[in-house]
Amino acid sequence: MKAILQTRFIHLKKHWVSLLFWLALPILGTLAIMGITNSLQQDSKVPVGIVLEESTPMANALVNSIKQTPIIRTHTLTEEEALNQLEQHQLDSVFIIEEGYQEQILNASRNRLIKSYRSDLSFAYSPVAEMVMSYVQQDTGRMKAAFTVQGISEQYASGEQTWTWEEIVDKSKTVEAEENLLHTTFTFLNSDTEEDGDQLFLFNPWGLWAIFSLLSGLMIMDWIIRERRGSITPRFSFMRFSLKSYLIQNAALYFLLFLVTDIMAIYVFHIQFGDPVTADLILAIFAYRITIHLGAFILSVLMNQLSTYYGASFLLTLFVAIISGAVLPTEGLMERYSWLSIVNPIAPFLSKDVGYGWIILFVLLIGVWFLRKENRHVKGT
């Protein structure tokens, strides 16, 4: 093993830059794409102006609810500033929470609570207005329910202490939070992870990592083709280990190197995206790494030309990226061609499962390759 390490370090002296690039690609590529898409998502939020004419608990609560909407970027301004920016098309629309909002809510009134403005270029006014009015109706609905409950309580309380409307409203909010009456979760295809509503990602970071890991794993294993050239293989006749044994032992060293980068990926994604580190995730990453490493080994020993190997590697990565659903939605494609889910090596990983089928197949193929006797043609002198 010492001789294997020494020879491998000699080779890495000439290719250490490319090795580091491909090892870092899964992490850096994923972080770059996630950063770009998140920046685009922030820029694509609908700019809405909010004018608050009174500073009451209910009016402030309404503004906070609007600000927490993922598709809206709010700007709290004066009426003059908001209308000026609307005329310059810096805002899509303006909503003014008028004086007396809380008083009218307490009276269960729904008239003239909010004034709104839009321009000829307000493309998102209708859905935003409906969203704002839904929050207003929520408040008025609570008040109406509170007055109804209070009336029933006074009618049937028989002299006992009745609930105030503040207690009823607070209780309704508590029930709403505890019972999860209306809740929407965002999930990725083939993923059991629910994303936090305050942090919505356009792509699944582990899906991107899986695709980049497939490409980097294939690119790094090109050393097998380089070291199987006709000018090098005759030397193994004078060594204590065969060419096949040499390739397998060196592949094992690269596998350990990949595991180090995979551990780094788990840590980085946990810090950047809040992805929980679980035993299922670690096992799925380990199994997926074995799968792509064995697959890259098989592909490299079957080819003799680097150009052919590179072309096949990029085509394979592109094919897997398309059918995996990690980048593009594939619901319709999978319904029409169900066999694609079977041949997709990323599918078990995205589901945090172990793809035993691919691992067993690749191990059998490597076993056949290792035990098969090669035909050698020696020219006579």
Q: What is the pLDDT of residues 75-90, one digit of tens each?
A: 889 989 999 999 988 8
Look at residues 43, 97, 44, 38 and name the one whose alpha carbon lies nearest to residue 66: 97
Strand order in the sheet with 72-76: 72-76, 46-52, 93-97, 114-118
> Running DSSP on this structure, what letter comes out for residue 309?
H
d(CA 98, CA 283): 56
What pLDDT score was predicted for residue 247?
84
Question: 189 or 349: which carries more pLDDT confidence?
Answer: 349
- pLDDT score at 374: 56
pLDDT of residue 378: 41
Among the residue ranges 139-148, 171-180, 199-208, 354-363, the one predicted with the least confidence is 171-180
Reported as a single tens digit per residue, the pLDDT across 9-56 is 666 667 778 889 999 999 999 999 888 877 766 666 788 999 988 888
Cα(346)–Cα(353) distance, rounded to whole angstroms? 10
Whether the per-residue pLDDT at 271 is higher than 70: the answer is yes
pLDDT at 245 over 90: no
Strands (E), 86-157: 93-97, 114-118
Q: 200: pLDDT confidence band, cut at 50, 70 and 90?
A: very low
